[in-house]
Amino acid sequence: MTYRVCFVCTGNICRSPMAEVVFRARVAEAGLDGLVEVDSAGTGGWHEGDGADPRTVAVLEENGYACGHTARQFQPSWFARLDLVVALDTGHLRALRRLAPTEQDAQKVRLLRSYDPAAGDDLDVPDPYYGGADGFEECLEMVEAASAGLLAAVREGVEGQAA
Protein backbone atom coordinates (compact mmCIF):
# COMPACT_ATOMS: atom_id res chain seq x y z
CA MET A 1 0.00 0.00 0.00
CA THR A 2 1.31 3.45 -0.94
CA TYR A 3 1.78 6.17 1.70
CA ARG A 4 0.78 9.52 0.17
CA VAL A 5 2.21 12.91 1.19
CA CYS A 6 1.19 16.29 -0.24
CA PHE A 7 3.04 19.54 0.49
CA VAL A 8 0.92 22.71 0.38
CA CYS A 9 1.81 26.40 0.16
CA THR A 10 -0.06 29.37 -1.32
CA GLY A 11 0.34 29.18 -5.09
CA ASN A 12 2.32 25.94 -5.54
CA ILE A 13 5.22 27.61 -7.34
CA CYS A 14 7.82 28.26 -4.59
CA ARG A 15 7.79 26.49 -1.24
CA SER A 16 5.66 23.40 -1.81
CA PRO A 17 7.30 22.33 -5.10
CA MET A 18 10.67 22.81 -3.40
CA ALA A 19 9.57 20.61 -0.50
CA GLU A 20 8.15 18.04 -2.92
CA VAL A 21 11.38 17.79 -4.90
CA VAL A 22 13.62 17.61 -1.83
CA PHE A 23 11.44 15.07 -0.06
CA ARG A 24 11.09 12.91 -3.16
CA ALA A 25 14.92 12.77 -3.25
CA ARG A 26 15.02 11.76 0.44
CA VAL A 27 12.41 9.04 -0.17
CA ALA A 28 14.48 7.69 -3.08
CA GLU A 29 17.71 7.78 -1.02
CA ALA A 30 15.92 5.82 1.72
CA GLY A 31 14.82 3.15 -0.78
CA LEU A 32 11.14 3.93 -0.23
CA ASP A 33 10.42 4.90 -3.86
CA GLY A 34 7.66 2.40 -4.51
CA LEU A 35 6.11 2.84 -1.07
CA VAL A 36 5.78 6.63 -0.78
CA GLU A 37 4.11 9.00 -3.24
CA VAL A 38 5.03 12.69 -2.96
CA ASP A 39 3.29 15.66 -4.56
CA SER A 40 2.34 19.28 -3.87
CA ALA A 41 -0.40 21.84 -4.37
CA GLY A 42 -1.43 25.37 -3.44
CA THR A 43 -4.28 26.69 -1.34
CA GLY A 44 -5.13 28.99 -4.26
CA GLY A 45 -5.38 28.40 -7.97
CA TRP A 46 -3.74 31.57 -9.32
CA HIS A 47 -0.78 29.69 -10.82
CA GLU A 48 -2.54 26.47 -11.89
CA GLY A 49 -0.79 25.01 -14.92
CA ASP A 50 2.37 27.11 -14.43
CA GLY A 51 5.81 25.70 -13.74
CA ALA A 52 7.71 26.38 -10.54
CA ASP A 53 9.06 29.89 -10.02
CA PRO A 54 12.37 30.21 -11.93
CA ARG A 55 14.14 31.11 -8.67
CA THR A 56 12.88 27.89 -7.08
CA VAL A 57 14.14 25.91 -10.07
CA ALA A 58 17.52 27.70 -9.96
CA VAL A 59 18.08 27.07 -6.23
CA LEU A 60 17.06 23.44 -6.59
CA GLU A 61 19.32 22.86 -9.61
CA GLU A 62 22.26 24.65 -7.92
CA ASN A 63 21.88 22.13 -5.09
CA GLY A 64 21.64 19.02 -7.24
CA TYR A 65 17.87 18.58 -7.46
CA ALA A 66 15.96 18.13 -10.72
CA CYS A 67 12.67 20.01 -10.91
CA GLY A 68 9.78 19.29 -13.25
CA HIS A 69 6.57 20.77 -11.86
CA THR A 70 3.09 21.98 -12.79
CA ALA A 71 1.16 24.03 -10.22
CA ARG A 72 -2.28 22.96 -9.08
CA GLN A 73 -4.78 23.82 -6.36
CA PHE A 74 -5.43 21.53 -3.40
CA GLN A 75 -8.91 19.97 -3.42
CA PRO A 76 -10.77 18.85 -0.26
CA SER A 77 -11.60 15.53 -1.95
CA TRP A 78 -7.88 14.68 -1.87
CA PHE A 79 -7.98 14.14 1.90
CA ALA A 80 -9.57 10.73 1.31
CA ARG A 81 -6.48 9.43 -0.51
CA LEU A 82 -3.76 11.28 1.41
CA ASP A 83 -2.03 10.03 4.55
CA LEU A 84 -0.24 13.29 5.36
CA VAL A 85 -0.79 16.90 4.25
CA VAL A 86 2.24 19.07 5.00
CA ALA A 87 1.59 22.81 5.32
CA LEU A 88 4.45 25.25 4.82
CA ASP A 89 3.12 27.87 7.26
CA THR A 90 0.43 28.35 9.89
CA GLY A 91 -1.86 30.16 7.45
CA HIS A 92 -1.83 27.09 5.20
CA LEU A 93 -2.33 24.85 8.22
CA ARG A 94 -5.48 26.74 9.23
CA ALA A 95 -6.82 26.90 5.66
CA LEU A 96 -6.28 23.17 5.10
CA ARG A 97 -7.87 22.20 8.40
CA ARG A 98 -10.91 24.31 7.49
CA LEU A 99 -11.13 22.48 4.13
CA ALA A 100 -10.91 19.05 5.78
CA PRO A 101 -14.22 17.18 5.44
CA THR A 102 -13.76 15.38 8.78
CA GLU A 103 -11.84 15.82 12.03
CA GLN A 104 -9.78 12.76 11.07
CA ASP A 105 -8.80 14.52 7.82
CA ALA A 106 -7.91 17.70 9.73
CA GLN A 107 -5.52 15.66 11.87
CA LYS A 108 -3.59 14.69 8.72
CA VAL A 109 -2.39 18.30 8.35
CA ARG A 110 0.99 19.10 9.91
CA LEU A 111 3.52 21.92 9.63
CA LEU A 112 6.73 20.99 7.80
CA ARG A 113 9.04 22.60 10.33
CA SER A 114 7.41 20.68 13.18
CA TYR A 115 9.63 17.83 11.96
CA ASP A 116 12.79 19.91 12.58
CA PRO A 117 13.76 19.85 16.28
CA ALA A 118 16.04 22.88 15.73
CA ALA A 119 13.13 25.03 14.49
CA GLY A 120 11.95 25.83 18.01
CA ASP A 121 8.72 27.84 18.04
CA ASP A 122 9.26 29.36 14.58
CA LEU A 123 7.48 26.78 12.45
CA ASP A 124 6.69 28.87 9.36
CA VAL A 125 8.71 28.63 6.17
CA PRO A 126 8.61 32.28 4.98
CA ASP A 127 7.29 32.94 1.48
CA PRO A 128 10.29 33.90 -0.67
CA TYR A 129 8.17 35.06 -3.65
CA TYR A 130 8.48 38.83 -3.12
CA GLY A 131 12.17 38.78 -2.21
CA GLY A 132 15.49 37.87 -3.76
CA ALA A 133 17.42 34.64 -4.27
CA ASP A 134 18.53 34.55 -0.62
CA GLY A 135 14.92 33.89 0.46
CA PHE A 136 14.78 30.85 -1.81
CA GLU A 137 18.08 29.60 -0.41
CA GLU A 138 16.77 30.05 3.15
CA CYS A 139 13.60 28.19 2.16
CA LEU A 140 15.67 25.28 0.83
CA GLU A 141 17.71 25.15 4.04
CA MET A 142 14.51 24.95 6.13
CA VAL A 143 13.01 22.29 3.87
CA GLU A 144 16.16 20.17 3.97
CA ALA A 145 16.44 20.54 7.76
CA ALA A 146 12.89 19.26 8.27
CA SER A 147 13.17 16.42 5.75
CA ALA A 148 15.03 13.98 8.00
CA GLY A 149 12.39 14.15 10.74
CA LEU A 150 9.59 14.00 8.19
CA LEU A 151 11.19 10.95 6.57
CA ALA A 152 11.35 9.21 9.95
CA ALA A 153 7.63 9.92 10.53
CA VAL A 154 6.70 8.74 7.04
CA ARG A 155 8.79 5.59 7.47
CA GLU A 156 6.78 4.85 10.64
CA GLY A 157 3.58 5.40 8.68
CA VAL A 158 4.72 3.06 5.92
CA GLU A 159 5.67 0.39 8.44
CA GLY A 160 2.32 0.87 10.20
CA GLN A 161 0.49 0.27 6.93
CA ALA A 162 2.49 -2.89 6.31
CA ALA A 163 1.73 -4.30 9.79
- In this prediction, residues 9-28 reach a mean pLDDT of 98
Give the strand order in the sheet containing 3-9.
36-42, 3-9, 84-87, 109-111
Cα angle for residues 53, 74, 91 (degrees, 5° grid): 80
Q: What is the mean pLDDT of the chain?
A: 97
Q: Provide the domain limits for residue 33.
A: 3-162
CATH classification of the domain holding 84: 3.40.50.2300
Catalytic site residues? 9, 15, 127
Model confidence at 161, pLDDT cuts 50, 70, 90, reads: confident
How far CA 76 is from CA of 13, 47, 79, 99, 120, in Å, comes to 20, 18, 6, 6, 30
Residue-wise pLDDT for 133-156, tens only, equals: 999 999 999 999 999 999 999 999
Upper half-sphere CA count for residue 24 (Cβ side, 13 Å): 19
112 and 150 Cβ atoms separated by less than 8 Å = yes
Residue-wise pLDDT for 82-96, tens only, equals: 999 999 999 999 999
More confident residue, 129 or 1: 129
Q: What is the domain count for the chain? A: 1
